[in-house]
Structure 1
Amino acid sequence: MAIKKRPVSPRQKMINLMYVVLMAMLALNVSTEVLDGFSIVEESLRRTTANSTKENRSIYDGFEAQMKSNPEKVRAWFAKATEVKSTSDSLYDFVQQLKVEIVMEADGAHGDIDNIKRKDDLEAASQVMLAPGTGKGKTLYNMINSFRNRILSMITDEHQRSVISSNLTTELPKNAVTMGKNWQEYMFEDMPVAAAVTLLSKLQSDIRYAEGEVLHTLVSNIDMKDIRVNKLSAFVIPNAQTVVRGDKFSAQIVMAAVDTTQTPQIYIGGRQMNLKNNTYEFIAGRTGDFNLTGYITMQNGRGDVIRRDFSQKYTVVDPSATVSADLMNVLYAGYSNPMSVSIPGVPLNKVSATMSGGTLQPVGPGKYIARPAAVGKDVTITVSSLQTGSPKQMGQFTFHVRKLPDPTAYIALGDNRFRGGGMAKASLMSAGGIKAAIDDGLLDIEFRVTGFETVFFDNMGNAVPMASAGASFSQRQRDAFRGLSRNKRFYITRISAVGPDGITRNLPASMEVIVK
Structure 2
Amino acid sequence: MAAGKLSPRQRMINMMYLVLTALLALNVSKEVLNSFFEVNRGIESSTDNFYYKNLKTYADFDRAVQNNPEKFTEVRNKAYSVKDNVDELFIYIQEMKYDLVSEVDKGVVYLGNTQEILDENGEPKEDLAIKNKKFSSLTTKQKQMPIAWLTRKDDRYGSSDLFMPKTIAKNKQRATILKNKIIEYRDFAISVAGDNQNLIDKINVIFDISDRGTGKNKQTWEIYNFYDMPSVGALTLLSKIQLDIRNVEADLIDYLKKNIDSKSLKFADAMGIQIPESNFILSGDMFKAEIFVTAFNKDRNPDVYVGEYDSLPDGTYKMRGKEGVDYQVVPVENGRGIYEVRTGPQGPKKWGGLISMKTETGTKFYPFMGEYLVASKQGVASPTNMNVLYMAVNNPIKVAVPGYPASKIVVSVIGGSSQGTINAVNKNEGKWIVKPTQSAKSSKNKPFIQISVRDGNTIKPIDKIAFKILDVPNPIPTARGISVNKEKVTRGELIDAQKLIAFMGDDFYFDSDEVKYTVREYTVNYSNRQGNFTDVIKGSRFNSVVENAIENTKIDGVITISNIKVNRPGVNALTTLRGALIYRIIGN
Query: What's the TM-score, normalizing by structure 2?
Result: 0.37
Instruction: Determine which structure has greater relative contact order: mean sequence separation of CA pairs < 8 Å that are 6+ residues apart, divided by chain length.
Output: 2
**Greater gyration radius:** 1
Query: What's the TM-score, normalizing by structure 1?
Result: 0.41
